[in-house]
Amino acid sequence: MNKLTFAGFIPARYASTRFPGKPLADIGGMTMIERVYRQVSKALEEVYVATDDERIFSAVKEFGGRVIMTGTHHRSGTDRCYEAYCNAGCRADVVINIQGDEPFVDPSQIEAVKDCFDTPETQIATLVRPFDPARGFEALFDKNTPKVVMDNNMNAMYFSRSVIPYVRNYEWKEWLDHADYFTHIGMYAYRADVLKELTMLPQSSLEIAESLEQLRWLQNGYKIKCGVSTCPTIGIDTPEDLEQARQYVKTLND
């Protein structure tokens, strides 16, 4: 069996309702998109930024990164990744979609998602994190933290913004003592032929209900293999998150 090849794509948009220009935000003297790129490059030889904005394109070129221009019409990072994959003339067997707003993504997370393809049947892979009960119920119930349940082969059964599983015979305050919970880390990897198929699927009813793109794939019969990571991540969604990231970089440099 030939060894699979992997390429990383980092979708990056300038427009954002909550934080315009986020990819170019400065974190300790380096733009966020450059930090993501450099972290990903520790685990992958072939890495691209996929953007629809000339400012991001120029910034990536300036630090010597690979960057591909894409259209402005894409509904998701998955669609943008596929156009960039085609435009780059990439021939990798597996495309890894890395979020452009996690400047401290750990290379071990990329290795974990790559390991999911040790099983030839894997079509799509993603990462999950065991939920730490010490974080408490408020964090578990947070709708912005999708939860996931998996079968015995680590294939995702369902993702939800609600708490899953529901523990029938206990008060909710006791759930953490009687079930294991996993939260979703938004990194995806797809076999290239499967990625092409995914971009042609219409939105599904479950996807629309929960506003979770991966439910479209499950609802259409695709399997999503889950790798486990315990690495903490810092996602930048707001200017407040950016300030926390800047403070974190200071601790690294002290």
Strand partners, 185: 127
- CATH architecture group of domain 128-185+196-231: Alpha-Beta Complex (3.90)
User: 149 and 209 in contact (C-beta within 8 Å)?
Assistant: no
* DSSP letter for each residue of 188-254: EEEEHHHHHHHTTPPP-HHHHHHT-THHHHHHTT--EEEEE---------SHHHHHHHHHHHHHHH-
- 10-residue block means of pLDDT along the chain (254 residues)? 89 84 94 97 98 96 97 87 96 97 95 96 97 92 95 98 96 93 96 97 97 97 97 86 90 77
Bond into 107 cis (ω within 30): no
What are the DSSP E strand ranges found in 144-204? 147-150, 156-160, 182-191
> Where along the chain do its domains lie?
1-105, 128-185+196-231
| pLDDT score recorded for residue 2 | 67
N- to C-terminal Cα distance for the chain? 47
Same fold, 1-105 and 128-185+196-231: yes
Cα separations in angstroms, 242 against 24, 39, 87, 231, 252: 11, 17, 31, 19, 15
| pLDDT score recorded for residue 223 | 98
| pLDDT score recorded for residue 182 | 98
How far apart, in whole angstroms, are the C-alpha atoms of residue 225 and residue 121? 9
- Between vectors from CA 108 to CA 81 and to CA 47, what angle results, nearest 5°? 30
Tokens 């427009």, located at residue = 15
- CATH architecture group of domain 1-105: Alpha-Beta Complex (3.90)
Give the pair of three-digit tokens for residue 151.
Answer: 């079968």
| pLDDT score recorded for residue 15 | 82
